[in-house]
Amino acid sequence: MRLGLMPQFIVRQSLIIGLTAGAFALGFHLGATVAMTASAAAVWIAMIGQLVVLNRRLGSHIAPGAKAYDFRGWLAISLPILLVEGFYLLLSYTDVLVLQQFRSSEEVGVYFAVVKTLALVSFIHYAMSATTAHRFAEYHALGDKPRLSAYVAHAIKWTFWPSLAATILLLAFGKPLLWLFGPQFVVGYDIMFIAAIGLVVRSAIGPVERLLNMLGHQHICALAYALAFVMNVVLCVALVPRFGGHGAAAATLDLAGLRDRAAVLDRAAQARPAHAGVREAGITRRART
């Protein structure tokens, strides 16, 4: 698991800081071009290093043999997961982009500061997703449904309660935190309460997206995210011109959409098991043995 997470979240970030600091020390002007160049270089260095280490470790566990590439199978699994990540990124910025079209830059700045402050809560959800996905696949491959159900309940509990506590803490200190951006940002404090509801509701269903991907239901997960994105755009366009940042937060909240999305995910989790999770867990088991 360290090999899967460290290159992206530790090595890459450290390289970005180091390359940017090196460019500054060499006298380069630190702008968008230098920053993007450092970021791209860090991604490639971390990725190549991860590939080299992975191949070395696999070489000590798996004997050399004939190579076979299931490109069609790989694409059938990876493309929906790519769509899920893409729609998630779109959902993260749709409200800001729509707000920018109808309101002043000052109001957009206040709203952006609010949502990015609350985004700290999302780290809990992501951390639980990253640390539980391989367990979902393993228990599913073993056919151990009671253990899988118990572990899903455990993951939901450890996603919801810390997220709720972090949300309450951020709301309690919301005004001082916004004041750090500038005194004028404190006017967005009431928007925090609207946006916080969506974060708590999302944490209540836990890392169910990763569960679906591990069970082979990535197509339904992608469809749910696509529908959520379309609904978010429609609600933003409808609410932002009249209510501004409050409307953007309410559109992103979209309790009805979250409820429907949770229902879709729940039905998918109860559907006939697919083979993606079995295949991935089988690889994990062989590597361990």
Look at residue 179 in the predicted model and tell me its pLDDT: 94
- Chain centroid to CA 199: 13
Look at residue 276 in the predicted model and tell me its pLDDT: 43
DSSP assigned state of 184: G
Contact (Cβ atoms closer than 8 angstroms) between residue 257 and residue 123:
no
Look at residue 286 in the predicted model and tell me its pLDDT: 38
| pTM assigned to the model | 0.76
C-alpha 143/C-alpha 146 separation (Å) is 9
Helices (H) and strands (E) in the chain, counts: 14, 0
Contact (Cβ atoms closer than 8 angstroms) between residue 166 and residue 220:
no
Each of the 289 residues of the chain gets a pLDDT tens digit; together they read 677 778 887 899 899 999 999 999 999 888 889 999 999 999 999 999 999 998 888 888 888 778 888 888 889 889 998 998 898 889 888 999 999 999 999 999 999 999 989 988 988 988 888 888 888 888 988 988 899 889 989 998 999 999 999 999 999 999 999 999 999 999 999 999 999 988 888 888 888 888 888 888 888 888 888 888 888 899 999 999 999 999 999 988 755 445 445 545 555 555 444 444 434 433 334 333 3
Place of tokens 């979902």: 136
Residues 6+ apart with CB under 8 A from 205: 156, 262, 265
CA distance to 48, 107, 266, per residue, from 284 (Å): 22, 49, 26
Look at residue 30 in the predicted model and tell me its pLDDT: 85
